Amino acid sequence: MNIEKLINDLAKNIAKTVLNKKEESIEKINLSNIGSGDILRIILKRLVNDGDYNKAENILFEAINKNNTEEIYQIAFDFYNTLLEKSDEELEKGNFTSEEIYQGIEDIKSIYFKTDKYN
């Protein structure tokens, strides 16, 4: 088996699925340049597209607890901003509410600013 071919096929499938790109528009993805933040963004985007907001939020908080960085903080706010664009009906289908979004934002702020980054 050719590992590089398998990885490239996987990258193409991820791009097609997550980014909704057509085969001919997919460029070769250099996986050595993909960081944990990029992977987290891809996972969250996929879960949000699937309407699995609670699972996405759980994964986000696991990532924050493991690696509380400015990059993760930005990913968290991007995640919640994406959810704020959803209608109440979309959120309800995903068993989520706008109140949970605002609570999540407050939780992220308290976790991030509780660290010694600004002391």
Average pLDDT of the chain? 81
Residue 21 φ then ψ, to 5°? -100, 150
Q: CA-to-CA distance for 116 and 8, rounded, in angstroms?
A: 41
Largest CA distance in the chain: 52
Pick from 58, 76, 75, 68: nearest CA to 114:
68
57-95 confidence digits (pLDDT tens): 999 999 998 888 889 999 999 999 999 999 999 999 999
Residue 20 backbone zone (phi > 0: left; psi -120 to 50: alpha; other: beta): left
Q: 79 near 43, Cβ under 8 Å?
A: no
Q: 14 near 7, Cβ under 8 Å?
A: no
pLDDT of residue 77: 94
Q: CA-to-CA distance for 48 and 55, rounded, in angstroms?
A: 9
Whole-structure pTM value = 0.69
Q: What percent of the chain lies above the pLDDT cut of 90?
A: 53
